[in-house]
Structure 1
Amino acid sequence: MTIALDKLTDPAVRAFVGALNSGDREAFSAALTADATMSDDGADRDVADWTEREIFSSGGHMDIEKQTHDGLGLVANYRNDTWGEMRTSWRFTVDGGKVSRFETGQA
C-alpha cells in the first residue's frame, strides 16, 4: 500500500516528492535550499550531479510506503531506468520550509 502525495505531512517533503515524481527540475530546485546537501548510502554526493543522474535523466520515481511521525523520514520503493526498483529510506532536514539536506540509501 502506498501513501498518496497529499498525505505526506511535511510540506517541504511533499514538494520534494511531488517534483521528483513529476520530473519537474524547476519545482525540485525550488523545494531545496540554495546550499542543500545530500548523501547516498552514507557518502556525500553533489546534489546537482546526483539528481540529474539518479532522478531526471533516468525517470526516477518513488512510491511512499511509510513516513515517520514527524514527516521527515520516508521508506519508499524507488525506481529508475538505471537501477530498476529498490526499497529505500529517505531522511530530510528542513530549513525555512525547504529541504536543506536529504539522505537516502537502501532500506
Structure 2
Amino acid sequence: MERVKGSLQVLNVSNCNLSWTNLESLCSIVELDMSRNDFTSIVANLNHLSCLTCLRVIGCRNLKVLPKLPSSIVNLFAQGCVSLVELPKLPNEYNGGRAVKATK
C-alpha cells in the first residue's frame, strides 16, 4: 500500500450529526470513523477507498445498509447498528480482523 506523504489517513466524523456522506475523493483514508451519526445508508462508494483498513459505524441506529467494502478492509465495527439488515460480503482478502454485527 503506497501512501502519499502528507495525505489524510485517519478521518473521524463520529457524532457529527451527519445524515449523508460523500467520501469518494478521500482515496488515502486508512481509518474512517463514522460512528453515532444519523444516516440510513452510506452513499459514498467506499470500494474506491483502496487504503481503507478500518471502518467504524458504531451506534448508527438508523443505518440499514453498508455499501460494498474495499478488499483492504481488516476491521469493521458496527455495534449498536440496530437497523442494519446484514453485513456486506467481506472481501476475500479479509483475514482474521473483526466484523462485529449489530446487537439489539
With the length of structure 2 as denominator, give the TM-score of the two structures: 0.24
Q: Indicate the structure whose relative CO is greater, using CA pairs within 8 Å and at least 6 residues apart.
A: 1
With the length of structure 1 as denominator, give the TM-score of the two structures: 0.23
More strand by share: 1
More helix by share: 1
